[in-house]
């Protein structure tokens, strides 16, 4: 359970299961995810990226303007509202190493999730935080950022990942 999965691992395409109640097991998984994400380093991680099909997402990022760090875990995250306004930003993914693409997504979202105390949280997020959450919540339903690209661009990226992983394994 302690390592990142890379495309084309089939677990990345599976739907994660809802958590009945956040307990010590889920909190331990979230702590492990946070360690893996920070070590990678990444700004977000979904549980299926480490082979666990549970709806758990961890995020960590630094606001470029305020230099404030934001770090938290979401259990059973669900986007309940998307803004009409869209924005294009570059995305990458720890499961698709060294590949980046411009992806259009809604600027703001309202997300609902359980925290580690089983408390239902509802919050509106925008900018980078909104982007990270949309990307990670997509993972929980088996969707990857490359799915927003043309099949040509997607296939080129997948070939580059295979080459990268082959070279990495030969080191």
CA Rg value for the chain: 16
136 labelled catalytic: yes
| Strands in the chain per DSSP E | 44-46, 56-62, 69-82, 86-93, 96-106, 108-114, 120-126
- Sheet order of strands, 44-46 included: 44-46, 56-62, 69-82, 108-114, 120-126
**Residues 27, 52: contact at Cβ < 8 Å?**
no
Catalytic residue, chosen from 116, 129, 136, 171, is 136
Residues 6 or more apart in contact with residue 60 via CB below 8 angstroms: 34, 37, 38, 43, 44, 69, 70, 71
CB neighbours (10 Å) of residue 108?
Answer: 16
CB neighbours (10 Å) of residue 136?
Answer: 25
∠ Cα 72 6 92 (to 5°)? 55
Q: Which residues are catalytic?
A: 136
């Amino acid at each position: 359970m302690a390592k990142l999965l890379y495309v084309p691992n089939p677990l990345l395409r599976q739907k994660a299961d809802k958590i009945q109640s956040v307990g010590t097991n889920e909190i331990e998984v979230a702590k492990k995810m946070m360690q893996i994400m920070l070590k990678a380093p990444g700004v977000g991680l979904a549980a299926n990226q480490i082979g666990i099909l549970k709806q758990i997402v961890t995020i960590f990022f630094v606001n470029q303007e305020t230099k404030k760090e934001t770090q938290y875990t979401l259990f059973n995250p669900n986007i309940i509202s998307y803004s009409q306004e869209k924005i294009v930003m570059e995305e990458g993914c720890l499961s698709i190493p060294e590949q980046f693409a411009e992806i259009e997504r809604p600027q703001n979202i309202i997300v609902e999730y359980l925290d580690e105390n089983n408390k239902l949280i509802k919050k509106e997020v925008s900018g980078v935080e909104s982007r990270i959450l949309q990307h990670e919540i997509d993972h929980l339903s088996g969707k990857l950022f490359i799915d927003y690209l043309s099949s040509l661009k997607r296939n080129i990226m997948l070939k580059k990942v295979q080459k990268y992983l082959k070279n990495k394994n030969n080191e």
